[in-house]
Amino acid sequence: MPNQYVILHKPYGVLSQFTPELPGQRTLADFYLPKDLYAAGRLDSDSEGVLLLTDDGIFIKKLLEPGRGHERTYLIQVEGIPTPEAITALARGITIQGYRTLPASARLLEHEPTLPPRDPPIRVRLSIPTSWIELKLTEGKNRQVRRMTAAVGYPTLRLLRTAIGSVKLGELASGQWRELTSVEISSLKSSAPPTPASLTPRLKVHR
């Protein structure tokens, strides 16, 4: 039987696992996913967006190997408006908890991205504006993005992962999932940089 490969748009407040740690927690079991899947990596409960799942254990191990450097793309709403110096620091690498992050791609977005409101909404302080950063990393340490923005003085309010390698969130609504295309699977299995893709196909999605 062939392996299964799935992308889920993980909502805010959902654990990246099928079993709750405390009563009342939402988990991946809430989304009617195919049987015997495991998350290929993690996305924190308070983060949203791309989560890959599969029953291919070898694929999971290779995907998470640091040397493969699959690019992860994030949209981050932060408190305040970062200075050019702060954006440069995020791109060059900063030290957090005794570890220096690898060089990344970072830019301040000119316009707020078109996204549905988060449920629950972010906390807003009327006296402090918010802004959005796009950050592309080739590593994924625990709560790294939040620690990076905090280290340069701009706490994260909302965090959405929009892509892993060539697999993009596209038009998947929160809580929906679809199977990966053969092109997406091949790209992830390769150690080569992501290929420009047709990789946000209009495929059947599931609620």
* CATH code, domain carrying 89: 3.30.70.1560
**Residues carrying an active site annotation:** 44
d(Cα 151, Cα 125) in Å, to the nearest integer? Answer: 20
Other Cβ atoms within 10 Å of 194 Cβ, number: 19
Q: What are phi and psi of 67, to 5 degrees?
A: -65, -20
Question: Tokens 């929160």 sit at which residue?
Answer: 174
pLDDT of residue 193: 43
The verdict on residue 177 lying in a domain is yes
Angle at 23 between CA 19 and CA 28, to 5 degrees: 30
Residues 158 and 169 in one domain: no
Q: Is the pLDDT of residue 129 over 60?
A: yes
The verdict on residue 205 lying in a domain is no
Tokens at 8, concatenated: 């889920």
Range of the domain at 129: 71-162
pLDDT of residue 24: 93
Contact 154, 86 (CB under 8 A): yes
CATH number of the domain encompassing residue 27: 3.30.70.580
The verdict on residue 198 lying in a domain is no
pLDDT digits (tens, 9 = 90+) for 41-87: 889 999 999 999 999 999 988 888 766 668 999 999 999 999 999 99
Q: What is the mean pLDDT of residues 103-128?
A: 91
How many domains does the chain fold into? 2
The verdict on residue 195 lying in a domain is no
The verdict on residue 199 lying in a domain is no
Q: What is the mean pLDDT of residues 101-109?
A: 96
Residues 87 and 157 in one domain: yes
Residues 142 and 173 in one domain: no
Percent pLDDT > 90 in the chain is: 72
The verdict on residue 203 lying in a domain is no
Q: What are phi and psi of 159, to 5 degrees?
A: -135, 125
Residues 43 and 108 in one domain: no
Q: What are phi and psi of 71, to 5 degrees?
A: -70, 135
- DSSP class per residue in 4-53: -EEEEEEPTTB-SSSS-SSTT-B-GGGG-PPTT-EESS---TT-EEEEEE
In one-letter notation, the amino acid at residue 23 is P
Contact 132, 145 (CB under 8 A): no
Residues 77 and 158 in one domain: yes
206 DSSP assignment: B
pLDDT of residue 198: 35
Beta strands per DSSP E along 25-176? 38-39, 48-54, 72-79, 95-96, 99-100, 105-108, 130-137, 156-164, 167-168
Q: Mean pLDDT over all residues of the chain?
A: 89
- N- to C-terminal Cα distance for the chain? 25
Which residues, in sequence order, are CB contacts of 123 under 8 Å at separation 6+? 157
120 against 87, higher pLDDT: 87
pLDDT of residue 192: 43
